[in-house]
Amino acid sequence: MAYGSIPLEKRLRENIKSYKLENLYDLEKVQKLFRDLGEAFGMELLLTQRHGETAVAVGDFSDFEPDVETEPGRKIRVAERTIGHLYVKLSSPEAGQKIEAVLDDLAELYSFLGEKQYRFRETAIYADELEEALEKDRYQAKHGEHVDALTGLLNKTYFDGRLKLLKETGTAPDALICVNINDWKFVNSNYGDEESDRLIKTVADILKREAKPDYLIGRVDGDVFYIVIEVPEDGEALDYCRRIKEACLAFEDSVLAPSVAIGMVTRLSVEEDFAEGFSEAEYEMFRDKFDEKNSPGYRERLEKGLAK
């Protein structure tokens, strides 16, 4: 879900669940402070994540198993949620009350600093997403309602309208091509909205770059594209499909590995219905998808970004 699609305050309440201490604090500096406090006051300090995993330890805590439920220590809280626990071992009981007050202040300070850093980070991300949404709106306003804002291709409504016009005034034969991105959901699940959107745009750019100016290209669903080539020359449509696949394989990126399944049929007569033709093209696309996803090296290329 894009950042701009829900209110900021709601995002702040929800996103803190995925934060760890290292997302908000420089743990090396925390460790240095703990060492200085340990030397000054004769104590050992342990900072854990919300579930008790060690984040910073100064001293010997090998025999200590944090129980964050029944003995949570001093809680570090950000956005009304506990993100860490501070534990202390004093050198002697007499060290007592003054040091306890210092540690209370330290936990409160880290809660305050974490809150500031968290709000700064999330607000900056939210602002970037809103700016991106505004850019899409400006693009839409400039190019008209017929253009898909993400890809610059024709949107489904306008593409369908062009098909109706072709049915009434066009000629035949036509090549009808269906292109579907392989494993778009895998990219979305593992790398998020930004990378999955970039994958769609990357494939759309390839479709445009390899096409002639008169090709009719539309994004008709999230990761599905339709193309019409009117009265193609012999081999023209097959050559276009081949170049699309080659361009996907040649694409160099540390994360994305674009791959598409393509189905093509020929509409032989002006009397034939475009919807039926594209339905047949989709059937051929699914057959091609099976071959593509079972080809040697496909899975390794798809998952290359996970190794980082």
Lookup: tokens for 302: 């798809």
Amino acid at 244: I
Q: What is the mean pLDDT of residues 170-188?
A: 94
**Could you tell me the residue ranges of all domains in the chain?**
3-124, 146-307
DSSP-derived pairing of the beta strands 54-58 and 43-49: antiparallel
Q: Does the pLDDT value for residue 199 go beyond 60?
A: yes
pLDDT digits (tens, 9 = 90+) for 216-241: 999 999 999 999 999 999 999 999 99
pLDDT digits (tens, 9 = 90+) for 94-128: 666 778 888 899 999 999 999 999 999 999 888 88
The yes/no answer on whether domain 3-124 falls in CATH 3.40.1620 is no
Where is average pLDDT lowest: 1-5, 90-94, 113-117, 264-268? 1-5
> Which CATH superfamily does the domain covering 146-307 fall into?
Reverse transcriptase/Diguanylate cyclase domain (3.30.70.270)
Lookup: tokens for 198: 């970039």
Q: What is the pTM of this model?
A: 0.57
pLDDT digits (tens, 9 = 90+) for 268-292: 999 899 999 999 999 999 999 999 9
Query: What's the CA gap between 121 and 129, in Å, rounded?
Result: 13
pLDDT at 102: 87
Contact in structure between 49 and 84 (CB atoms under 8 Å): yes
The count of other CB atoms within 10 Å of the CB of residue 225 is 26
